Amino acid sequence: MPDVNNRILGGLSASAFLRRHWQKQPLLVRGAIPGFAGLLDFGAMIELARRDDCESRLVVRRKDRWVVEHGPFERKRFSGLPASNWTLLLQGVDKVMPAARRLLSQFDFIPYSRFDDLMVSYAPAGGGVGPHFDSYDVFLLQGPGQRRWQVGRQRNLALLEDAPLKILKRFIPDGQCLLSAGDLLYLPPAVAHDGVAVDPCYTYSIGFRAPSHRELISQFLIFLEERLAGDGHYTDPDLSAQRRPAQISAPMIAKIERVLGTISWTRRDVAEFLGTYLTEPKAHVLFVPPRSPLSDVGFTQSARRTGVELALASSMLYGSAMIFINGEPHKMDKTVQPALKKLADARRLPGRQIPIRGHIRDLLYRWYRAGYINLSASAPAG
C-alpha cells in the first residue's frame, strides 16, 4: 500500500510506525477513527455467540475467582448475568461480518500472512479479562463506551495457578490511559496490560498471529512427512549376537542416524509449508457453497459482469509461483499470476480480468462451487 500518513496511526506513515513502534513501543492514538460507533450492538453479539461458526467466550469474575464459559450459547444465558464484572468475547468476527472485513482493510499495511483475527468484546462496568500479556501484536480500538487500560513492562510473568485464563499473578503497571470511542492503543508482544470497562463498552482487538517455534517445527515435520521418499526398511544382515538382549546396540543407533540424516528440505518446501499452514482454516470456520450453483458457462458470464470476491471465511496468500487458498496450494504460471495476485491482495477481482475459458476460469469456478469465492453483489463503479 502507499506509504502515506495515516490518521489511524496518528499521522505516522506505515513505514514510520513499523520502524518506531512495531514490536518495540506502544502507541496511543486519540481519535484514530473519530466517533467510531462500532459494528454491532450487544443484541447482535448475542446472535453471533449462538452460532457454531463464531468462537465465543463468556468471562465472569466473582470476587477473586474467574469463570470462563465457551459458546455457542443459548439466548437465555445472557438474561441472568450480573450488572457488572463480566465480558462477552467473539473471535473471528471478520469471518462472518462484511463490515468487520472493511474495518480490517485500514490495517493492511501489515501483511496478511501475519494477521490472525478481529475479536470484539462487550463488558458492563467492571468487566475485563484480568491483567495479562499476549505473545502477539494487537491494536485495541475502542468502540462505544470507555475502558481504562493499565499497561506495564515487567519481567515477572508468573501466572495465577488453577485459573481458567492466563492472568498475571503480580501486575505492576507503569501507566494508564482512558480510551473513548475511536481511540486506538497498539501493544507489542509481552507488554502486560489490564483493561477494565468504566461503563458499558465495546472493544475491537485486531490481533496478529505469532506461532511458537515449537508449533512451527512440529507442523513443518507433519508437512514433510507427506513428502518424504523414505522407501525401504531397516535391515541388519551383519547382526551379531548380544550378551545383553535388552540393550539398544551402537550399530543400530548408527544405522538409524544415517536414515534420519537423509531428511532434507529446500526453501521451496518452506515456502509451500508456510502458504498452506498460514491459510489453513480454523476448526470452526465454515464455507457455504451456493445452494443452486450456476453452470460453468453461467458462472463465467456473471463473473465477467460483476467480478468475484473472496468469501469472508477465505484466506489467500501467494509466493513467487504458488497461490494458497484455505490450505490448498496451486501452481501459478505467468499468464494467471496478475489476476490471482490481485484477488489475494484486494480480496476481489474485477470482471474484466476473468477470462472466458482457461486455467484461471476453471480454478475460480471450482472455488465458487466450494464456497471459497462469491460473485460480487454488483459491478464496481467506473
> What is the arithmetic mean of pLDDT over 235-249?
93
Cα–Cα distance list, 297 to 151, 304, 350 (Å): 57, 11, 17
Look at residue 95 and give its three-state secondary structure.
helix
> What is the arithmetic mean of pLDDT over 217-245?
88
Range picked from 3-7, 60-64, 269-273, 355-359 for highest mean pLDDT:
269-273
> What is the band of 262 on the pLDDT scale with cuts at 50, 70, 90?
confident
Say whether pLDDT at 107 is over 90.
Answer: yes
Contact 141, 181 (CB under 8 A): no
pLDDT of amino acid 64: 80
Asked which of 64-68, 217-221, 308-312 is least confident by mean pLDDT, the reply is 64-68
pTM of the predicted model as reported, rounded to 2 decimal places: 0.91
Kindly list the domain boundaries of the chain, sorted by start residue. Answer: 7-208, 212-226+258-382
pLDDT of amino acid 277: 97
Helix axes 296-306, 359-370, angle to 10 degrees: 100
Cross-strand pairs, 322: 331
Q: Which fold has domain 7-208?
A: Jelly Rolls (2.60.120)
> What is the arithmetic mean of pLDDT over 43-61?
96
pLDDT of amino acid 318: 97
Residue 326 is placed in which grid cell?
A: 484455505
Say whether pLDDT at 6 is over 90.
Answer: no
* Fold agreement (7-208, 212-226+258-382): no
Do strands 373-375 and 328-331 pair parallel, antiparallel, or not at all (unpaired)? Answer: unpaired
pLDDT of amino acid 379: 46
Give the distance, in angstroms, between the CA of residue 221 and the centroid of all CA atoms in the same chain.
Answer: 22
> What is the band of 378 on the pLDDT scale with cuts at 50, 70, 90?
low
Q: For the domain covering 212-226+258-382, report its CATH number.
A: 3.40.366.30
Choose between 88 and 230: higher pLDDT. Answer: 88
> What is the band of 230 on the pLDDT scale with cuts at 50, 70, 90?
low
DSSP of 245-278? TTSPPHHHHHHHHHHHTT----HHHHHHHHHHHH
Helix (H) or strand (E) run with residue 104 in it: helix 98-104
What are 341-367's pLDDT values in tens digits? 999 999 999 999 998 888 899 999 999
Say whether pLDDT at 316 is over 90.
Answer: yes
What are 180-200's pLDDT values in tens digits? 999 999 999 999 999 999 999
pLDDT of amino acid 25: 96
Residue 103 is placed in which grid cell?
A: 474495518
Do strands 192-197 and 56-62 pair parallel, antiparallel, or not at all (unpaired)? Answer: unpaired
Mean predicted lDDT score pLDDT of the chain: 93
* Residue of 219, 325, 207, 319 lying closest to 272 (CA atoms): 319
